Structure 1
Amino acid sequence: GGTERPFSSPSLPLPLLVAAVRDSLTRSKKKLYIGALFPMSGGWPGGQACLPSAQMALDLVNKRTDILPDYELELIHYDSMCDPGEATKLLYDLLYTEPIKIVLMPGCSSVSTLVAEAARMWNLIVLSYGSSSPALSNRQRFPTFFRTHPSATLHNPTRVQLFQKWKWTKIATIQQTTEVFTSTLDDLEERVREAGIEISVRQSFLTDPAVAVKNLKRQDARIIVGLFYETEARKVFCEVYKEKLYGKKYVWFLIGWYADNWFKIKDASINCTVEQMTEAVEGHVTTEIVMLNPETVRGASKLTSQEFLAQLMSKLGGKNPEETGGFQEAPLAYDAVWALALALNKTVGPLKAKGHRLEDFNYNNRDITVEIYRAMNTSSFEGVSGHVVFDAQGSRMAWTLIEQLQGGSYKKIGYYDSTKGNLSWYGNDKWIGSGPPADQTVVIEEFRYLSQKLFVSVSVFAGLGILLGIVCLTFNIYNRNVRYIQNSQPYLNNMTAVGCMMALAAIFPLGIDGLHVHRRQFPVVCQFRLWLLGLGFSIAYGSMFTKIWWVHTVFTKKDEKKDKRKHLEPWKLYATVGVLLCIDILSLIIWQILDPLHITVEKFTREAPKGDLDVLIQPLLEHCSSEKMTTWLGVVYGYKGLLLLLGIFLAYETKSISTEKINDHRAVGMAIYNVAVLCMITAPVTMILSSQQDASFAFASLAIVFSVYITLVVLFVPKMRRLITRGEWQSDAQETMKTGSSTNNNDEEKSRQLERENKELQKIIQEKEERVSELRNQLSERQALRSRRRASTITNQNHSPPPLTITHSDPRSLAPPPGYPAPTTDLHSHPFANSSSLYQPDSNISRNNCHPSRLQLLYK
């Protein structure tokens, strides 16, 4: 017999043996199912490249013995067509069709929004590979959502880093009105605010960007961030070319996922040539999420990025990458599977400690979901797309590629690692000008100062006016005992001269500005202006107003009051001036306490200097002002305006009055006319011309000079001339003092005699007027009585025989008084027919007992 040999299997080649062992192990592994939605068609057919990429990752994961050795991942996928409606139906099928899915993997943002918002009801983790909408970074709304595709807001940290690198503090934005761009811009606005950068202009458009681009030009936008799709980008830069919003003064920041030749593609919606578009886009900067690791490193999959691309191209069967949807995002789908596998592998130990297993997962088991969430949230590994890590909102943190269009092609100028805040800069950025442009037009502030020629010229006139005032004041004081000067109230004239000199002195601080004094001393200059001019006006005009007011008061009152007030008491005149002065001082003190004057700077329209310099001149003008300047000026102008109007009225009323007590009141009235007219014109005009420093100063100062000159000349020159021509100088004062008393007494006696005669004549006139009135009353009574009796006589003649003829026994009884003509019997020969009938020889006279003496009385 043959020796019995133990059972032995037939010999197999080594590869077949390894495959047999692997199949045996695979059959013993427990399956974990992933429900995936890959858009193979629709708005973003990313599943065309992302699905093969995910399957490549699953194959490698399932072959690894160090990752989920007891489990096998299986992908159950459908075509969502990037349509939320279709995705809703497929989500229902995934959830309510066996087997249970442990994770969901949607693609585009609109589908991810739907899936992620519903997934928490089934305690499912959602991991997206192609969603960039910033709206998904909301843990309250999407508590279990993660994505390996960075959020669109990941461009913003890179942009802020570049703004700071190039020292820009002011930017502008223009966006297409869609949710993804609006949320991206909101995030950018928050980030730049934290960095101390201002968004000065924010424009948006729906389909036509023409108006938005014009607004950018009008508001001097220089650093502009554009957020729009590729088709709209062509429209925007066609308008940019038309508005000349490009060149060395401007920098545009665009999204980097456009095609490299996007600006050369012919588009029927624009009317710009390729050459024009190429000119307009030159020099713009793009930021693009790095979706393929630029470094040659082997990560968790043991593949470099270039090895991954080679395997993907082989799996796609030689398809053109540019015609394959989602080819750029394929590394993200690959790393999404690896992130899920590593997270699930990390949960095995903690779940075992709690008595759970991954295969025990169901839609009601929250404990397993919590462990998977914790593991996903702490993921960190090197993938083919770069370093994979998630932020607090579940969004991927990745590198950003920075490129610049130079000479019609894109050049890499740097990378930014947002996880470490590290900017890798190549230093090959190129600018149309000498360097990065300024973020705004350089504004040079330039103060406008008063013309020094004008100031010196007016100051000379003011100085001469002060000298004239001193001469007039000296003249008045020196000749104060001359009778003619005494009768002009010299102390009031002295006040007028002092007030005029104060007003002229106000011209000097009125012309002082920042060219002469420092800004800290400028409020003091403002105070000098106000007080000198205010008090000078009150003293000068107040003294003239007091004179004219006294003349009007005395000579327009009734006799009994006029007699009482005709005696001039000088202290009352001075007191009146003092009251006016006190009102001004009190109002100025209240003004300065409640609302003191300070410097305000008025800004004018910016001016462009000659040349091609990128600067603007900002003209500035300093003003003396207060918080309620208009109110205070209204009060002051109103009060002084009433005084001016009243002065004009009093001067007009007293123009024909002559009095020796104030012998120059007509000259005072003429001065008041001139001052009032100049002040009423100057006050509103200077307010209107306040922004024109030369015109305003010239108008105000010349008005002061003219009014002062006219006042001094009108008041003092006639007095000087009289004293010169008549020789009434101070040397004759003693004689004047000696004879002054008797002369004054004679004049007063003559005046009293004339007043007595005037009163006597007025009494006689009054008596005569009363007598005439009495006679007129008697005449009217007589006519009425005669008319009644005539009517009675006619009645009697109708009822009685004819009357007897009366003979006049004494014709002299009807004779008129001596010196009066005899009355005629013709009723029509005298214009007063009724009166002549009284003198006819009629019996009615006898019956009325009209004695001839009564007739004589009538004649009188």
Structure 2
Amino acid sequence: MTASLVLCALLAGAATALVCDQNPCVTVNGRCCPTYPCNATMPNTVDVSSIFPFELYGFPEIVRLAVDEINSDPAMFPNQTFRVRWQSTRLGNPGATVNAFACTTLSPTYQPIVQLLIGPVLSAEGVQVAQIAGMMNVPVLSGTVAATGMSDKTLYPTFSRIRSTNAYGAVSAVQFISYYGWDQVVVICSPTDAYSIELASTLVSLAPSKGIHVALNLQFNSAGGDDPAAVLQRVVDSKVRVLFVMLTLADWNVLVPVAAQMGLTSASYVWIASSYQYYVNIPNLPVGLIAIGEYLNTSSPMYKSITAKWADAYKANPSNTFGVPTLGLVPILHYNVIKFGAQVLSNLQKGGVPWTPANIIQAIRNTTWPGIGGTVRLKSNGDSPNNVNFANYQVLPDGTKAWAVVGTVFDGQPLRTTSAKVQWGMGRDGDNVPIAAPQTLSTRLEPSPGLTTTMVALASVVVVVAVLVLAFNVYYRSNPYVKMSTPAMNNVVAVGVVLCMAFVYLLAAAPTITSPARFAVNCNARLVCLALGFTLSFGSLFIKTYRVAQIFAGKVMQVVVITLSDLFKYLFALVALDVVFLAVWLGMSPYAMETIDHGTQVDPSDPDTYLDVYTVHCSSSQAGVFSTIMYAYKAVVILIAAFTAFQTRNVSIPALNDSRQIGLSTYISGIVAVIVYPIAGLIDYRQASALFALTSLAVIVSAGAVLLIVFVPKIKAVCDGTDKHLTSTPPPLGFRAGTPNKRTSASQMAGAAPPKQASNPGQTRS
């Protein structure tokens, strides 16, 4: 099939027949001729064609500026006018692109009427036009088409370009990512855009060779109804903070505002975008954005000259530049290629070389020229050396925002940084490079060290007081006042308090235990210490009260022989009940270590660290049943102790009667239990300090109250000598002495020998 037939077929399939715009600027609400300069009958012209989307970036003005500069140089084409035939491709519309090619490049008989086609601009346009041009042997020179597949000269033999390929943009991005030590990346691309897809797929294929893991390879199509929040939530869940985002402007403007709301444009994240965002004046450019762009030598006189002319034209009248205030990358590259194409033709003419397609193509691929992006020297296949800039969107000292080139990759070499310092997200200092993904630390929530130390110190104070009580009881064991209060039982109370403090010590030690087996031992030891400590302390108080109640059960004071061994038998019975109960509990359902995962959260002190938070606590499958039974049993002991204390409240021998102190201790402990138990059940395990403090204080207050309320008055009485007046009391009104073998006197309770008539004279009385 001939080239003309191919073109006819393409035009036949287009939405409209071949129509050449007499006013190509109509798509931008302007007026211009089909050529520039605007003179269809101008003699001695050097004609080239240029097709591009008039609707983008103020393209017509950049073409005018380039042509005017060429014609202002008399050395370029003496006595000739360099002229451009132009038409709009209407943003890559297939029919419009072929239409523009035919209108600018071919005669009515489909024969070439120009020496060179400059353009197209978009890769989709280039694929359409370059293949037809190759069949017609029309040289094509583009400054912006970057589709990697167009390096294939069997399909595109006449196509040349002075821009790096798409694939090399991704190659350079891999170099950039590797330079900063990032080993993970998330890729997001527009599935409807060939440029975006090629960049994304190339990076995905090359990244592993540099040790870079592509954590996610996502697509986002706003026109297709994709939910930006859902796509971005996957990014959040991945925890990766280096994002390679290849999106069209339409998709970008939908995704980025949502990303900002979700905190994904913060100082912790790095966004690497395509040239769609480079030098484009759009509102949704986050500070710190890195964009891939063609290498430009911004210090060159050519660059400074063209950007100044553009700024002057806009300042004179914004309509001159079609409302575009800043000259963007793509029009700069198109300007560059027009100047380069003209230079090639000029060199051939000066050398007396005919402008044949073969000569022009060869000259394009062998001409060295100091272009706006550095020296142009194409490869033998018509591709440009792959030189890529990385631009950074920064906040300037005056508060304005602008692009700054921060690095360049020259044709496969490692990244070279420039004098411009990088600004990361939200102006984060360039030396403080964000990490690819936060480290995740497995963090066990524990009580604060200060709180633990405080609780241990308080428990130690209680232990010291208990030891002092023991020492007091031993030292003053012969003192009638002390002896009448049953010092042996007092000692057991102190030992019980110490066991309760052992519970606090074990609770404080638990956070340091990582072994499940050792933690289980700690849990079960806590249960044993608390249960036995309670029984020894409150059980002894109950027995002491029971003893007084037995002696003063009625108005007739009978002799009741209650030996110390009898008291210990009662105590042993209570302890034995505990031991049996605990043996059954720990035999059937012992406590074990249970880990509760509370999810992952950002470390408040270091946003580059995630905390995988968990707590460890004691767990028993039957804990609810057994603990309920134990609480009920202990509550019964407390209630009986309180009741007997109430019964003996009127016994007026202070040395003998501790009922008021015991009642107060029981009341305080009961109140603490009633308050603490339900509150502790409501505290979340994540509130480790609160839970530890509440539990520890409940035990310390209850046990400490027993020591202080029961024993401090006794110690005070002995120390200030008032104990001598507290061992006896006149019988209350209506009280009568009974038979000596049925009753005992107060003096006998203080340790005097029992009457001879006692039924068991060999026993020791209490």
When normalised by structure 2's length, the TM-score is 0.48
Query: Which protein has the bigger helix share?
Result: 1
Larger Cα-atom Rg? 1
When normalised by structure 1's length, the TM-score is 0.44
